[in-house]
Structure 1
Amino acid sequence: MAALDDFLEPLHNGVWEVEVLKASVTEPLDPGWKRSGINVPTPGTIASYRKGRYHVHETATEWKVHLDRYDPAVHPVMHLVDDAPLIFMIAATFVALVDDVWRTNPENTRAVLKEQTAAWQMLVLFGLAGMTTGAFVVLNPLLSFSSIVHLLMPLAFIALGILIVGEGIQIRPFQMVSARRILSGIMVIFIGVISYDLAVEDWGAIIFVLIGIWALGSAAMTFRRLSRGRKAVPEGFYTWCAIGCLSLLLALLIVMTPVALVALMTMVLGAIALLAGLTLVANGLRLRGRMKRR
């Protein structure tokens, strides 16, 4: 009997990622592995799990495991700065979306066909909506940024607050599980409500201060590791050299040309939405083609 943990020793000996065939793992994941809802997009991933610093991406045939430098549950800020720089997350998102546009997965398609013969119509509809939204954002970045910070950011805070409050309450039977989480959620909701009165300039300043600190911290941590040589960067020396340089450039642009960077970052967001919509349309058309061949 073999558990996934039995294959992870190479990660402590300079190997960046181990790929383990599912057929080789005969034991289910132990309770220490927790499903992770927020991850850097990876092509082919159907689910992700974490166990301390271990992070596994589940694909149709493999477990792909790497070792983060920081456990996000213990050091969330350092995890963002060192393990998930903003530049890396943006690049990975584009790669995953482009890969998904071209990827064909007959097994998933057959499963969907059994459940919904009209699934392709919904995929195409939502995909076209995403592409339209993305195109509008790309063509009108400053107007889109203003709309996002005035409407979506406060709503995001309110929604987050509601979720936090929900975690502090048990519905059946109704009882308070965590007064601290309820209070924290109410505070987040309050921040969301009062943030409607913030000017676009204030939102821009807050967002770019946070992004600037994130980017500068990522650049510093990356160059620190690069200075130790190739062995300190098993995931790719030149790749992370580029990520470090781009992170530093992003931090400098925030100081030098903030308005232009607002437009650029908003256009990137729009491009991601456009690609996501294209992915849905492509998958919907694949479903339609297979339905015709049934």
Structure 2
Amino acid sequence: MTEPSVFDQFRPLLFTIAYEILGSAADAEDVLQDSYLRWRDIDEDEVEHPRAYLVQIVTRQALNQLRSARRRREDYVGNWLPEPIRTEHDASHDVLLAESVSMAMLLVLETLGPTERAVFVLSEVFGHSLVEIAEMIGKSDATVRQIAHRAREHVQARRKRFQPDADTNRAVIGRFLLAARTGEVQNLMDVLAPDVVQISDGGGRVIVAGRPVTGAAPVAKFIIGLAQNSMADMAVEFGSFNALPALLFRSGADGHLDTVLMIEIDGDLITGLYAVRNPEKLQSADVPRPLERPQDIL
């Protein structure tokens, strides 16, 4: 068997960094493609630390991509959610990695400026020193230290508790599905946190709720309406997306993926429902995405 190239060896790590900076799998793949072309044009034997070199290339490319993406998102129709990625056991074994790609965390990161986001991700998730990050993004150590402090405080004030529990999650989701299908509003409310939030992303291409739905009663009525109308004839399957339990809704004989509903759970209550329906964001949603952090910082 042919040994993987240096770039392929670090690809899961590089994708994870790019995705967490960008919140888009498609944009992350574009960054990796551009980074590979740059890597291909250099003499690998002259690079003393390939991983550090590639992380620097990907970080800079991702920052450039994020700045242009931010301008595009200003014109986005309706609620914007990160592009969902199918995650397997590699993410759930590492709680910090799992939290970092969760919908709640990615939405918090979206409130940071591009440089703040990159610094936070590289330092807090991937364990790079501020000196290393300063070199990667071309800023002074003192400036990066200030950025890191500001970003950390910003995220800490907004992050949700993240405690994955597969057994409990499956039981809660089972109760959620049963109540939605039978139309029992109170039973559904019993598995919803009082301040639960439901966010739908259709990108202006499919019909979704134009604004977030907040509160157990409004969310319960909204979900039951969907279950009994637009999603009544769809096939449902379990999955794991962004290290969260998810329900996949498929329509038609070909099993066309219509919706990925990611479910955020705290204890035995659902605190967040993130429904992605924008067809552009679902094009490669069925492809498992290996995620990785450097093993020497686990």
Same fold (TM over 0.5): no
Q: Which has the higher strand share?
A: 2
TM-score (structure 2 length as normaliser) = 0.29
TM-score (structure 1 length as normaliser) = 0.30
